[in-house]
A and B are shown apart, each in its own frame.
Chain A
Amino acid sequence: DAKTTQPNSMESNEEEPVHLPCNHSTISGTDYIHWYRQLPSQGPEYVIHGLTSNVNNRMASLAIAEDRKSSTLILHRATLRDAAVYYCILMRAGANSKLTFGKGITLSVRP
């Protein structure tokens, strides 16, 4: 399975935008890019996913590089509640597609 690389941690200020990077240089054409986040003492929750085009939803935006070797999760206005571990995951299409988590990036939000 293709791997993703994320920084260990990032800090941001409340009410400012946050850009969380993810590298996936060995991505294949059928790999979807998924983002999940995990708040303290909670199970992971879905944030967003995409294949080739940039995606927006009520939680965040996903910007995918043209060569698909990297992507960026964008939180438009960080709140204290956004402090969490964010996981960038590649999910390969097929009968055995599965959600494989790495270490993720820990986002801290300063008031």
Chain B
Amino acid sequence: EAGVAQSPRYKIIEKRQSVAFWCNPISGHATLYWYQQILGQGPKLLIQFQNNGVVDDSQLPKDRFSAERLKGVDSTLKIQPAKLEDSAVYLCASSFGQGTNTEAFFGQGTRLTVV
């Protein structure tokens, strides 16, 4: 079974530039998550989708971050404009359901460096 695919693996941009990350979840998984992980910290949930609807985006900085999940499958996360503090690993995860009795599968992440 193929895992969660993310691209690119690494990205370096200057502050105030824009950047986009792409995620392809495991086939058939209805729930998709985007996390931000700053060095030395645990992952922080940015947004959670159920199919193509948003379940939770309470911690997404909406003035600069946006995310969409087209047709309930692939998803993109965009930052525009980027700030130095956005340097982090961005993790995508998916799960079959939304409930507490399911496990989430994570991609390897995209490491973003803002200079």
CA A95 to CA B58, docked complex, whole Å: 15
What is the interface residue range for chain A against chain B? 20 to 34
Interface of B is mostly: loop
Q: Are B100 and A93 in contact (CB under 8 A)?
A: yes
Nearest CB in chain A: distance from B49 CB, A: 12
Q: Which of B61-69, B72-80, B104-112 contacts A (4 or more CB under 8 A)?
A: B104-112
Partner of A99, one of B104, B107, B108: B104
Q: Which residues of B contact A93 (CB under 8 A)?
A: 99-100
Contact bitstring B19-42, A, C-beta under 8 A = 1, else 0: 000000000000001010000011
- B71 CB to closest chain A CB (Å) equals 22
Residues of B within 8 A of A45 (CB): 105-106
Contact of A42 among B103, B105, B108 (CB under 8 A): B108
B14 at interface, CB cutoff 8 A: no
Question: Known contacts A99-B45, A101-B44: does B104 contact A46 (CB below 8 Å)?
Answer: yes
Please tell me if the beta carbons of B93 and A43 are within 8 angstroms of each other in the complex. yes
Interface residues, chain A, with chain B CB atoms under 8 Å away: 30-32, 34, 36, 41-46, 49, 85, 87, 91-93, 95-104
**Which residues of chain B have a CB within 8 Å of any CB of chain A?**
4, 33, 35, 41-45, 48, 55-56, 91, 93, 98-101, 103-109
